[in-house]
Amino acid sequence: MEKLTDAQVERRLSDALAHRSSVPAEKLIAGLLRTFDLTAEEDDEFIFPALNSTARERIFGGQVIAQAIVAADRTVDGEKNIHSLHSYFLRAGDETKPLHFRVHRDFDGRSISNRRVVVRQDEKVIFNLTASFQKPAEGLEHQITMPDVLPPEQCMSAMEQIARNPLISDEHVERMSMPRPFEVRSFRPEGKNPEARQYQWFKTVAPLPDDPLTHRATLAFASDMGLLSTSMIPHGLHWTTPGLFSTSLDHAMWFHDDFRVDQWICYVMDSDWTGHTRGLNRGSLFTEDGLLVATAVQEGMIRLTPKA
């Protein structure tokens, strides 16, 4: 594909940034927080209402993870915070239909509680999650050192990366420039690279409330952004590659410490393996001063249909 000229990139980027900034940041954050506002039905059952319309083909996986965390947390002792989750994406969800969350109280101990959340749509299970919650406790501590990465201000914005990619049409650039509640800056090697590594900085575009649940749910939401693409790097694939179909199969997270997602988080991602139409991806999430606050692991399906 022929490289875009500087003038073409500038035009695409200018249009995209104008579109992205067309909604006030506070309104975007209000919309994000509304996704965590579940309506209580019967005991331990919650509903997220249908949207009137949607531009998505399916519900974003990070959204359902975050909502399931919120549903589970509403059945747990207030002293306990989520410290781990394991989840599976079973069917694609439709934003124009309500989501039903059923929480199962599997275990309550003095320091640990365990919950299962089953999410249904049209009477079919589309997602399930198991989460563990713990009271704060003191103990041994150690962590890996944050890798040597460029600071966020030296990384390219996600919109600039999209605008510079000649494989992405003007129409697709416009769709990708929809206003979003996160600012994202990233570093990804170009083309094929045997080292399946990339990283991105992200934060919300405006401040969030102070409660830890909001920040943990928001981090879980954001942890599904871009992780699966890590296992495509050694194969020179990108989400724009013709004939490529990819989707998340499962997602696990461990929360290690407190943090704020309205301040920069560095998501350092790598992939150990790809095979049998699946790719395994791992991410470490650090604050700007190097504190490891969470770890994520995700396996996804990667199917490439060769051109006829």
Catalytic positions:
224, 248, 298
Judge whether 69 and 82 are in contact, CB under 8 Å.
Answer: yes
Q: Specify the amino acid at residue 145.
A: T
Judge whether 4 and 166 are in contact, CB under 8 Å.
Answer: yes
The span from the CA of 261 to the CA of 286, in Å, is 11
C-alpha dihedral sign at 293, 21, 57, 171: negative
The span from the CA of 189 to the CA of 116, in Å, is 38
Q: Which residue has the tokens 């990139």?
A: 9
Q: Which helix (H) or strand (E) holds 297?
A: strand 292-304
User: CB-hemisphere CA count at 13 Å for 100?
Assistant: 11
302 phi and psi, to 5 degrees?
Answer: -130, 110
Residue 247, both tokens:
């989707």
Kindly state the DSSP code that residue 50 receives in the 8-state scheme. P
The span from the CA of 205 to the CA of 249, in Å, is 29
Judge whether 198 and 189 are in contact, CB under 8 Å.
Answer: yes
Kindly state the DSSP code that residue 256 receives in the 8-state scheme. -
